[in-house]
Amino acid sequence: MKVELVATAAHRYHCIIEVFDGESVRVCANAAELEQVVSNLLLNAMQAMPEGGTVRVTTGTVMLRVADGTERPFASLAVADAGTGIAEA
């Protein structure tokens, strides 16, 4: 991830980013695209908190049921903030 971009934005928005790493997960993905997605999620979270705050990032695995009814592990990434949210309209 472009740490400089996120660090600069965190400073500008008066935000702290906390990262909680779960178990190590290997995924097959385009690294640049994944980096862009995570950067966008972090920037959106910071922009949603005009007074500043904490953005929490959690990674790990989650068990999900697939089409055949069995459960299997999937990688998970969660970005949480205490922002205003999206208007219902």
d(CA 74, CA 22): 13
Q: Among 48, 59, 42, which residue's Cα sits nearest to residue 3?
A: 42
Query: What's the pLDDT score for residue 21?
Result: 85
CA angle in degrees (0–180, nearest 5) for 61-3-9: 105
Structure tokens at 31: 């690294």
Q: Which residues in the chain land under pLDDT 70? A: 1-3
d(CA 66, CA 86): 30
